Homo-oligomer: A and B are copies of this chain.
Amino acid sequence: MANVAFIGLGNMGGPMAANLLKAGHSVTVFDLVPEAVQQLVDQGATSAENAAAAVEGVDFVISMLPAGRHVEGLYLGESGLLNVLNSSAVIIDSSTIDAATARKVHAAAAEKGIAMVDAPVSGGVAAAAAGTLSFMCGGSDEAFASVKPLLDGMGKNIFHAGDSGAGQVAKVCNNMLLSILMVGTSEALRLGADNGLDPARLSEIMLASSGRNWTLEVYNPYPGVMENAPASNDYKPGFMNDLMLKDLGLAMETAVHSGSATPLGAMARSLYASHVSKGNGKLDFSSILQSLGGND
């Protein structure tokens, strides 16, 4: 069993740290919100005064923070963790951030001889609690091998996407594609319904045809077609429009960085930006169907 520091105990980080405890690891936690820390302490974690204290002598540091600037702030600079960590420790950053920042932290860690894996997750709060997250990892083969057993305690699919930053890139690629599947499926159902087809029947047909995709399988955006989908529950999330817009923003930054053309991804971002700016940020991302309008 390993000694682990866990920094960032929000909606995702909290249950992830709890699963590490259940798996038998020693976990020292830090967060700016005392209640979040207490909840983990109640489950057997040790609390620390600050991030630097939390990482003393640990084998692994896991961070789960909102954006690239927080990750940069945690690891880099004069008071950053890179100045405190043993070179034997391995960093796992599970935050969803831009690949450029991830690579910058990787490079700074490498200069100190510290291994790192960027390991953003997908699956949402439910999967974090159930320990069934997907991890998309970027880093060397050795670094990936060293963190794999730990991640197994928090997730179901642990992917090695490639070198430093590759985890972040894989996640934005997947989530950009997901947004396209969701908008595209919404358009197709909308077009069918506007022309008199029953959306449930059309969903069945496309699911059995070349239109098959993850949203038709488990996350149908048309109200009433799939009982347990957010669409049939007033678009209660699920995965919020706010988060999809964040991921699409990262995808656009990645595309700008590499000069890549992403016509449908760019359009999806604009549709989500309009949708969110009209007050729908907290609804499930399948509510994008409503933004298309339609005959009903």
Contacts and interface: CB of A to CB of B under 8 A. Distances in A.
Interface in A248-281: 249, 251-271, 273-278
B253 A191 contact: no
Contact of A261 (B163, B165, B270): B270
A110 B236 CA distance: 45
B252 A197 contact: no
Nearest to A190: B260
Contact of A166 (B194, B197, B245): B197
B274 A261 contact: yes
A206 B178 CA distance: 9
Nearest to A245: B259
Contacts of A176: 184, 187-188, 191
Nearest to A271: B263
Interface residues of A, number: 85
A267 B274 contact: no
Interface string A31-60: 000000000000000000000000000000
A294 interface: yes
A273 B261 contact: yes
Contacts of A95: none
Given A177-B206, A181-B213, A205-B136, A170 B192 contact: yes
B178 A210 contact: yes
A12 to B, nearest CB: 16
B262 A159 contact: no
List the 4 closest A-B pairs by CB distance, nearest first.
A277-B293, A180-B184, A213-B213, A266-B266
20 contacts: A122-B209, A134-B209, A159-B204, A159-B208, A173-B197, A174-B210, A176-B187, A178-B210, A183-B263, A194-B258, A195-B258, A245-B259, A258-B295, A259-B295, A260-B295, A261-B294, A262-B273, A266-B266, A266-B267, A274-B293
